[in-house]
C-alpha cells in the first residue's frame, strides 16, 4: 500500500491594518495573491502563535489502512444502542477522529489502527458529557459513570444492562488485553484512571464555579485532556516491548509529559473561541485571562509555553536511552503531537461552523471584542 502524506499550507506573512468605516479594520493576507478580510464591529483580531515550527513543521504520514478502517469504525460507533445529539452525530460522521489516529500511528497494523479509531470515536462523545453535557456540574453522577467505565478494567464483572458507551470501551479493552503485554495493559488502566480523575476534577471546578490558577489548571488538565491513554494505545498499536527500567528514566517521563502539554496547549489555543461560547471554563487562554492578561497576551504566553515544550522534547529525545523500541516510542510521541496539530487545524474542526464569529486565515483569527480591548480604547 502507498503511504499518504498530509499537507498543510500556512500563509507566510500576515498583517493587521486599521481602516475607517463600518469594520474595525482588516486582515491583509500576503501570499501568492493579496486579499483583505474585514473585521466586523464588535470583533477583534487575535494573532495565533506559530505552531508549525521545529520538528512540527514536517508533513505527517497517514496509515495505509486508514481508508478501509475509517468506514468500519464509523459503522461500529453508529450502531450502538445510544442516541447521540445532532452535534455529536455530525462529529462522528466526519472522518477527522479517524484521521487523527491514522496520523498518530502511521506504521500500525490494520487491527491495531481499528482499535485506536474505535477508542477515538468513543472518547469524544464520552468526554462531551463532562465538558458541556448533562454531567458537567454533577460530580456524584459523573463519578458513578466513571466507576462503571473502569469496572471491567479493574477485574470486575459486568451485568447485561450495559450502556453503549461502556460496551464500546469494554471491546477496546478486550482487544488490548489479547495482544499486548501485561505492562502495557497496566499502563492503559492507570492512564484511564488518570483521565477519569482529571475529567471529574473539571466537573467539580465547574460545579463550584472555581477559577483555578495556572499551576492548578495544568495539573488537572494534564490528566483530563486524555493524552496519556493515547500514548499507551500507541505502544499497543506499534506492539512495542520497552524494558521496564526505561520508564524510570527522567527523560522518558519528560517525553510523555511534554506530549501531554503540547496537545493541551494546541487544543486550548485553537478551541478557545468555541469553548468560550459554550461556557467551558477549563481552557488555558481563559485561565491566563482570569489571571490578568489581555486576550492577545494570553495567546502570546501560550505560544511561548509551546516553544518551551518543543525545546524540552528535543532535549528529552537527545537524552533517551538507545534501542530500536525506545526510538519507535520517541517517534510515536512526535506523531501524536503532529496528528493533534494538523487535526486541530482542519477547517471543519473548530472553524467551519463558526465563520460568523471566528475566521481563520493563516495565523490570524477574528473573535468577539473582549472587555480588555474595549477598556483600552
Residue 28 has pLDDT above 50, yes or no: no
Contacts of 368 (CB under 8 A, 6+ apart): 42, 43, 44, 273, 276, 357
Same structural domain for residues 344 and 300? Answer: yes
Among the residues of 110-246, which ranges form H helices? Answer: 110-131, 139-150, 164-179, 182-207, 214-224, 227-238
Same structural domain for residues 286 and 169? Answer: yes
With respect to residue 372, please indicate whether it lies within any of the assigned structural domains. no
What are φ and ψ of residue 64, in 5° steps? -65, -15
Rounded to 5°, angle at Cα 178 from 328 and 339: 35
With respect to residue 78, please indicate whether it lies within any of the assigned structural domains. yes
pLDDT one-digit tens code per residue, 56-74? 988 889 999 998 998 888 7
Same structural domain for residues 3 and 93? Answer: no
Where does a domain end: 28, 45, 62? Answer: 45
Percent of the chain's residues with pLDDT above 90: 45
Same structural domain for residues 35 and 70? Answer: no
Query: Rounded CA gap, 364 and 27, in Å?
Result: 8
CATH of the domain at 100: 1.10.600.10
pLDDT at 347: 47
Same structural domain for residues 193 and 314? Answer: yes
3-state DSSP percent of the chain in helix, strand and coil, to 5: 60, 10, 30
Same structural domain for residues 6 and 125? Answer: no
Residue 261 has pLDDT above 70, yes or no: yes
Q: Using N-to-C axis directions, what is the helix angle for 324-344 and 227-238, rounded to 10°?
A: 130
pLDDT level of residue 36 (50, 70, 90 thresholds): low
Q: Which of 150, 139, 259 is nearest to 199 (CA)?
A: 139
Would you call 224 exposed, middle or buried from its count of C-beta atoms within 10 A (0-12, 13-18, 19+)? buried
The pTM for the full model equals 0.82
Same structural domain for residues 168 and 317? Answer: yes
Q: Which of 339, 338, 365 is nearest to 351 (CA)?
A: 365
pLDDT at 37: 56
Place of cell 512526535: 334
Query: Rounded CA gap, 216 and 202, in Å?
Result: 11
Residue 91 has pLDDT above 70, yes or no: no
Would you call 151 exposed, middle or buried from its count of C-beta atoms within 10 A (0-12, 13-18, 19+)? middle
Q: Using N-to-C axis directions, what is the helix angle for 110-131 and 139-150, rounded to 10°?
A: 160
Average confidence (pLDDT) over 206-229:
88
Contacts of 195 (CB under 8 A, 6+ apart): 223, 224, 226, 228, 229
pLDDT one-digit tens code per residue, 331-365? 999 999 999 988 877 645 444 443 333 333 334 44
With respect to residue 183, please indicate whether it lies within any of the assigned structural domains. yes
Average confidence (pLDDT) over 78-93:
61
pLDDT level of residue 130 (50, 70, 90 thresholds): confident
Structural domain including 238 reads: 50-358
**Which of 41-55, 238-252, 297-311 has the highest mean predicted lDDT (pLDDT)?**
297-311
What are φ and ψ of residue 207, in 5° steps? -65, -30
Same structural domain for residues 30 and 108? Answer: no
With respect to residue 92, please indicate whether it lies within any of the assigned structural domains. yes
With respect to residue 289, please indicate whether it lies within any of the assigned structural domains. yes
Q: Are the C-beta atoms of residues 321 and 301 closer than 8 Å to each other? A: no
Least confident of 2-11, 43-52, 75-84, 305-314: 2-11
Q: Are the C-beta atoms of residues 228 and 259 closer than 8 Å to each other? A: no
Residue 95 has pLDDT above 70, yes or no: no
Contacts of 364 (CB under 8 A, 6+ apart): 14, 16, 27, 45, 46, 47, 48
pLDDT one-digit tens code per residue, 4-27? 443 333 333 333 333 333 333 444
Distance of CA 18 to the CA centre of its chain: 34
With respect to residue 323, please indicate whether it lies within any of the assigned structural domains. yes
Average confidence (pLDDT) over 319-336:
95
Same structural domain for residues 61 and 9? Answer: no
With respect to residue 39, please indicate whether it lies within any of the assigned structural domains. yes
Query: Rounded CA gap, 142 and 196, in Å?
Result: 9
Please give the mean pLDDT across all residues of the chain. 79
Count of all residues that appear for the chain in the document = 377
Question: In total, how many domains does the chain have?
Answer: 2
pLDDT at 202: 81
Residue 216 has pLDDT above 60, yes or no: yes
With respect to residue 89, please indicate whether it lies within any of the assigned structural domains. yes
Q: Are the C-beta atoms of residues 363 and 50 closer than 8 Å to each other? A: yes
Same structural domain for residues 38 and 57? Answer: no
DSSP letter at 273 equals: H
Residue 131 has pLDDT above 50, yes or no: yes
Same structural domain for residues 22 and 55? Answer: no
pLDDT at 74: 79
Same structural domain for residues 141 and 37? Answer: no
pLDDT one-digit tens code per residue, 269-321? 988 887 887 777 789 999 999 999 998 899 999 999 999 999 999 999 999 99
pLDDT at 208: 78
Amino acid at each position: 500500500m502507498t503511504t499518504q502524506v498530509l499537507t498543510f499550507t500556512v500563509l507566510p506573512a500576515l498583517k493587521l491594518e486599521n481602516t475607517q468605516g463600518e469594520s474595525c479594520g482588516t486582515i491583509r493576507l500576503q501570499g501568492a495573491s493579496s486579499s483583505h478580510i474585514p473585521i466586523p464591529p464588535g470583533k477583534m483580531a487575535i494573532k495565533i502563535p506559530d505552531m508549525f515550527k521545529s520538528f512540527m513543521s514536517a508533513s505527517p504520514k497517514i496509515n495505509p489502512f486508514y481508508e478501509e478502517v475509517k468506514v468500519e469504525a464509523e459503522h461500529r460507533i453508529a450502531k450502538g444502542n445510544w442516541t447521540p445529539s445532532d452535534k455529536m452525530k455530525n462529529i462522528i460522521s466526519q472522518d477527522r477522529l479517524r484521521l487523527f489516529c491514522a496520523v498518530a500511528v502511521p506504521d500500525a497494523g490494520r487491527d491495531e489502527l481499528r482499535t485506536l479509531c474505535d477508542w477515538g470515536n468513543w472518547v469524544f462523545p464520552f468526554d462531551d458529557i463532562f465538558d458541556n453535557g448533562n454531567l458537567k456540574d454533577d460530580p456524584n453522577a459523573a463519578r458513578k459513570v466513571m466507576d462503571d467505565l473502569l469496572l471491567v478494567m479493574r477485574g470486575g464483572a459486568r451485568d447485561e444492562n450495559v450502556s453503549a458507551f461502556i460496551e464500546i470501551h469494554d471491546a477496546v479493552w478486550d482487544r488490548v488485553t489479547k495482544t499486548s503485554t501485561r505492562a502495557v495493559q497496566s499502563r492503559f488502566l492507570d492512564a484511564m484512571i488518570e483521565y477519569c480523575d482529571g475529567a471529574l476534577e473539571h466537573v467539580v471546578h465547574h460545579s463550584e464555579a472555581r477559577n483555578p490558577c495556572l499551576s492548578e489548571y495544568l495539573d488537572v488538565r494534564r490528566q483530563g485532556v486524555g493524552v496519556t491513554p493515547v500514548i499507551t494505545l500507541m505502544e499497543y498499536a506499534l506492539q512495542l516491548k520497552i524494558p521496564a527500567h526505561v520508564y524510570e528514566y527522567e527523560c522518558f517521563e519528560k517525553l510523555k509529559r511534554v506530549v501531554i502539554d503540547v496537545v493541551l496547549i494546541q487544543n486550548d489555543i485553537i478551541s478557545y473561541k468555541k469553548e468560550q461560547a459554550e461556557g467551558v471554563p477549563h481552557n488555558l487562554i481563559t485561565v491566563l485571562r482570569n489571571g490578568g492578561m489581555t486576550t492577545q497576551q494570553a495567546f502570546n504566553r501560550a505560544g511561548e509555553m509551546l516553544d518551551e515544550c518543543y525545546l524540552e522534547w528535543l532535549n528529552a529525545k537527545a537524552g533517551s536511552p538507545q534501542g530500536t523500541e525506545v526510538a519507535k516510542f520517541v517517534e510515536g510521541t512526535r506523531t501524536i503531537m503532529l496528528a493533534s496539530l494538523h487535526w486541530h487545524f482542519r477547517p471543519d474542526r473548530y472553524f467551519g461552523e463558526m465563520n460568523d464569529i471566528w475566521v481563520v486565515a493563516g495565523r490570524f483569527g477574528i473573535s468577539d471584542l473582549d472587555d480588555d480591548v474595549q477598556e483600552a480604547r
